[in-house]
Structure 1
Amino acid sequence: MAQDHQKSDHIVHAGPLIGVDVIIRFHDIERLYEFDRALLSLACQSLPNVRAIVVVQNFDREQLERLKATIAKYDWAAFDKPEPLVVNAEAPPGDQRSLLLNVGLANASHRFVAFLDSDDYVYEDCYEYLVGEALKVRAAVAFGGIVMKKVIGLKTFVYNLDLDKGGFSGKGRDDLLRDNFCPIHSFVVDRERVSAADLKFDERLTRLEDYDFLLRVCFKYPCRFESREKFVGVYNWHLDGRGSILFGLDHVDDAKKKEKEAPWHYARRIIWRRKTEIREYLERLSEIAKS
């Protein structure tokens, strides 16, 4: 990452050397139309050096060809963007979302890294703004606000039912310790300010992996939550159950309920332990400060 070693307090002085790798997990080839929308939001970024790293899991040749054809629709050079990188991860069957994020991180080369689920998207100035906010105060993580849209996914398009600008409310680390109000595409991470040992996801988790990541990083490194005053993207909450959020479980049988709920129960136990460790750490710091 030698090309990103230039230091600056303001992005306007940093020039094109400051770049962002945006890791996109993509699972379902039949939802290319949603992925296409996420991809377009990256192509249109006002910050030039934004590269998509698209990580898929055990895709066959036909699936890869369809994926790459969607990517090839865009003239990336005309958008002043690097060509997206596609990584086909060989992984055990099942939900390996944390592993895919780590594969993406292993392929990152720019100073900043961000994450974007394939059914969400970001606004045009998202990364110029967030990188600028991080550099301005030398923060390891800078956050932006996210608009929530309640949607139903149909075969070739998404129908928007409602829009909520107050769905993710919180102001800082204390609020984060209570609950997660920062979706995975609401922040950028400065790789020069976070150690490689911390810049990874817990591969045991198939739910709340982003919350676990934020709890570990935000209570160890300086973060900029104040930048959340500006909205930088959209989170699509799928009311039809296509997302990972638990919804409508009353309509499935007990076996399927348990199958859907099990990853959540496990993740919540991990999060509870993580929060306990953080609270004990903060109490020790408080006692030291008083002595």
Structure 2
Amino acid sequence: MTDHSLPGNTQSSDTLDCVVRFHDPRRLPELERCVFSLVGQRYRPINIVLVLQRFSPDEVAATEAALAPLLQLPNAPRLSVHNWDEAGVVDARTYLLNRGLDVAQGRYLAFLDYDDVLFPEAYEMLVGQLRKTGAAIAFASVQVMQVEVHDHFFYMVGSKVPPYKGQDLADLFKNNFCPIHSYVIDRSQLPTDLLHFDTGLTIEEDYDLLLRICAGFPSDFSLVGTPVGYYFYKTDGSNTVATQSGLDGEKLALYQEVQARIRARKKNTPVAPEVQAALGVPNPREGLSIHDTLKQSRTGSPGLRKLAELVGAR
């Protein structure tokens, strides 16, 4: 495995590591746009951990050369390049994320896919919320932008795609409404062995991690409703997980398998009593799973009762 580093800021206890995974050198202009949005962050210090999937030496060199001008800007972040080159895995997206976690050393942790971007204030706001509340993870929102894919360019149609629906932890326990670049994690609040992605998942891998974090540790949703970036919804479906109604064959089977594993995660993952209390569950106690917490919430607030009814109807 090859590691490369480009000059930039030094590490500190307040460093935010942003893991970016990149698998297709033909998409280099999109990666440049992504990294440009990270260079423009107001928060410092930032360390960009770029993980490539089986790039040749020439492709690694081309990637570094394309990004070098951005990293020569004043006060640019540090960027390290790590080429994941293990054989035998076709879809390595979770392996790339885990490689990024292995490399990251800063207090704060975030993720950004190569084809999405963040607004300049994103990390400043999210880290500020973590410091203010002491939460292990803080969430905001991202705006969904529809993009038409053409041979030599993208055409941004605008925000015609419905945004992700949800506003709090109860909604997250029901369904994932938080894209991977809509939150920042405070690693100092979590055990080190919790931060890993399930390599058996090739979709919903980020949701699985969110369930494990939010079930056991305080989370903050105060910034939900405040956009901190764009999620580019490509009309060719190349970067979007379809719903069950739009799938068939092997893709449908994979989707159903993943959904079964997510349901199992909800049934087997205990919710900390303090998290139960925050959800309005009466008589919080050890051993109550995410699934059971939602069922217990029927005796809590009206909103949580309706949520539990929806989950129980599945």
Aligned counterparts, 1:20-39, within 5 A: 20-39=16-35
Q: Do 1:43 and 1:81's aligned partners in 2 also have CA atoms closer than 8 Å?
A: yes
Judge conservation of contact 1:51–1:83 (CA < 8 Å) in 2: yes
Q: 1:135 to 1:258 in 2, by over 3 A?
A: same
Is 1:88 paired with 2:83?
yes
Deviation of residue 248 (structure 1)? 11
Q: Which position in structure 2 is the counterpart of 1:112?
A: 108
Larger relative contact order, structure 1 or 2 (CA cutoff 8 Å, min sep 6): 1
Tell me the equivalent position of 1:199.
195
Query: Aligned to 2:173, what secondary structure does the other structure show?
Result: helix
Q: Determine the structure 2 residue equivalent to 1:180.
A: 176
Q: Number of paired residues?
A: 271
Deviates more, 1:49-58 or 1:153-162: 153-162
Equivalent in the alignment of 2:265: 274
Separation in 1, partners of 2:113, 2:40: 17
**RMSD between superposed Cα atoms in Å:** 2.6
| Equivalent position amino acid for 1:81 in 2 | A
1:115-155: CA deviation from partner (whole Å, max 9, x where unpaired): 00111010011111100011100011011111001112223
1:109, distance to aligned residue in structure 2 (A): 1.5
Equivalent of 1:60 in 56, 78, 85: 56
Q: Which residue of 2 aligns with 1:3?
A: 12
What are structure 2's unaligned runs of at least 5 residues? Answer: 1-9, 286-314
Structure 1 residues 2, 28: closer, same or farther in 2, change over 3 A? Answer: closer
CA shift in 2, pair 1:237/1:275, >3 Å: same
Which TM-score applies when normalising by structure 2?
0.79
SS in 2 for 1:192: helix
The match for 1:161 among 157, 163, 177 is 157
**Aligned sequence identity (%):** 32
Residue 70 of structure 2 contacts residue 76 of structure 2 at CA under 8 Å; is this kept in 1?
Answer: no
The CA deviation at 1:213 is 0.8
Question: CA offset at residue 62 of structure 1?
Answer: 1.7
Amino acid at match of 1:238: K
Report the AA paired with residue 185 of structure 2.
V
Looking at structure 2, the residues matched to 2 and 153 of structure 1 have their Cα atoms a distance apart, in angstroms, of 38
**Does the CA contact (< 8 Å) of 2:141 and 2:227 recur in 1?**
yes
**SS at structure 1 position matched to 2:203:** coil
Distance 2:74 2:65 in 1: 17
- Shift, 1:204, TM fit: 0.5
Instruction: Tell me how far apart the structure 1 counterparts of residues 174 and 12 of structure 2 sit (CA, whole Å).
Output: 38
Paired residues of 1:198 and 1:217 also in contact (CA < 8 A): yes
Distance in 2, matches of 1:152 and 1:171, equals 29
Provide structure 1 residue ranges, at least 5 long, that are not aligned to the other structure. Answer: 5-17, 251-255
Counterpart CA distance in 1 for 2:85 and 2:212 is: 27
For 1:9, the equivalent position in structure 2 comes to none
State how far apart, in whole Å, the 1-side matches of 2:266 and 2:104 are. 29
**Do the aligned partners of residues 197 and 221 (structure 1) sit closer, same or farther apart at CA in structure 2, a change above 3 Å counting?**
same
Q: 1:72 to 1:167 in 2, by over 3 A?
A: same
